[in-house]
Amino acid sequence: MAKERSGVIHELLRKAELLKQGAEARVYRAQFLGRSVIVKERFAKRYRHPGLDDKLTHRRTVQEVRSILRCRRGGISAPVVYFVDHTFHCIFLEEILGSLTVRDHIAFTQQSDSCEDRELEQLAQRVGQILAKMHDEDVIHGDLTTSNMLLRRGQEDKESDLVLIDFGLSYISSLPEDKGVDLYVLEKAFLSTHPNTEALFKVLLKSYTASSKKSSAVIKKLDEVRLRGRKRSMVG
Amino acid sequence: MHHTHELELFPDRKVTQVLFQEVKNAAELRQIAVDGQINAALINPTMLVHPLQVLVAANKAVHLQNTGKMKTRSLNSEIIFNLSPTNKISEAFKRFGISDGDDSVMVVMVHDKNESQLVEDIVTKVDGRQVPVEELSSLSDSANIRKLYKVCPQEETCGTLLDAVICRMATKDVM
């Protein structure tokens, strides 16, 4: 069956609720097999050569899905993958219900008057731990921000679950440099999104260092990458 | 008793699951399925965690049939193949298809009309007691499922066994 031109989407997506449109993909919410799902559609890029576009898009889709599965196998919470449509490059993922982004959680907690330091520190520790676990599985997230981390309300009195999402730029690598860059991306996003959180991020890194078996090489690279960045003198 | 779900991606294609226990004619059923006299997939229910597992397999099968990319020769065999974590078709049938001595069977049919006649036909063919599909979990052999899908305890800290199984089914072709 000939693959239809880009722009033609499933009936399902036509009726589904579009949540986000990025440069790379559209994200929808829909019902699928009786569950609430998120559908991530990597649409065709018409400015690219079609043969290349198809290969690239396919590769990105495959990398995303492989990273998610690797995380889950390592006990790191990431959405369940229900179905991958390789003809339209759509990934059908579990919708994490009853959740709040870490970004919003930090923002709300900082706004409220109650004593937030301890609570946010504990959160930072947990984030450090989960990222250490992820890097120990050699998964590079590629887009670490507090918007890509969800706090899912736990059942009954259990603690809320920290879930990583949006593995669209992720890949597998054992190189400390790649892990260092991953943390650098988070540091930049974290500090620019949440004012006055330098100490909090230090707690995160401390927790990461304590939890990962390979952390010293990674932190060393992180320091090197920090010296590189924008508006940084590379004079030796 | 039986369970029917219309595939959201393929309107008019419905998946009906009918579960039987105390089955006495598994060998005969297997033979007539092979001969093409039943248009259904006969699955070993001890390898199933939940009806959703079947829906995921069936959805993928219909998708691959529509795009001309099935790995096996029929939709029904493709459903069984999709349940398996490996790419060996014969192994999929051995583990997920029914064997001559089995005493329980899950019958899965993909169809486009109302299922009542189909279910009736199946019930007459199976020498066994129809039970509600909801009882599937009581038939699951979790230990064997974990072994076959290679699910370690670590993975079950971030999800259920069903989640682990579905993920593998959905990503088998690219892992």
- B123 and chain A in contact, CB less than 8 A: no
**Confidence class for position B37, pLDDT limits 50, 70, 90:** confident
**Residue A3 confidence (pLDDT):** 45
Q: Do A76 and B175 touch (CB under 8 A)?
A: no
Residue in the block written with tokens 């059942």: A155
Q: How many residue contacts between A and B have a Cβ separation below 8 Å?
A: 79
Q: What are the CA-CA distances from residue A198 to residues A147, A195, B24 (Å)?
A: 18, 8, 69
**Residue A190 confidence (pLDDT):** 96
Question: What is the helix (H) or strand (E) element at residue B89, kind and residue range?
Answer: helix B89-96
Q: Do B52 and A33 touch (CB under 8 A)?
A: yes
> Contact at 8 Å (CB) between A134 and A74?
yes
CB contacts of A65 in chain B (<8 Å) are 170-171, 174
Percent of chain B with pLDDT over 90: 88
Q: Do A11 and B174 touch (CB under 8 A)?
A: no
Distance CA A94, CA B166 (A): 11
Distance CA A155, CA A201 (A): 28
- Per-residue pLDDT for B76 more than 80? yes
Rounded to the nearest 10 degrees, the angle between the axes of helix A50-73 and helix B161-171 is 160
| Catalytic annotation, residues of A | 143
Greater pLDDT, B59 or A9 = B59
Q: What is the mean pLDDT of chain B?
A: 94
**Residue A154 confidence (pLDDT):** 77
From the list A12, A69, A94, which residue is nearest B175 (CB)?
Answer: A69
Regarding beta strands B14-21 and B3-6, do their DSSP bridges make them parallel or antiparallel, or are they unpaired?
antiparallel
Q: What is the pLDDT of residues B90-143, one digit of tens each?
A: 999 999 999 999 999 999 999 998 888 888 999 999 999 999 999 999 999 999
Q: Indicate the pTM of the whole model.
A: 0.92
Q: Say what the ipTM of the complex is.
A: 0.94
Distance CA B57, CA A190 (A): 40
Strand order in the sheet with A161-164: A99-101, A149-152, A161-164
Distance CA A184, CA A204 (A): 12
CB contacts of B64 in chain A (<8 Å) are none
Q: Do A12 and B9 touch (CB under 8 A)?
A: yes
Residues of A near B (Cβ–Cβ under 8 Å) read 1, 10-12, 30-35, 62, 65-66, 68-69, 72-78, 80-87, 92, 94, 161
**Residue A9 confidence (pLDDT):** 53
- B12 and chain A in contact, CB less than 8 A: no
For residue B28, the tally of other CB atoms under 10 A from its CB is 14
From the list A66, A72, A86, which residue is nearest B159 (CB)?
Answer: A72
Which positions of chain A have pLDDT values less than 70? 1-9, 113, 115, 155-157, 236
From the list B68, B157, B170, which residue is nearest A83 (CB)?
Answer: B170
CB contacts of A62 in chain B (<8 Å) are 174
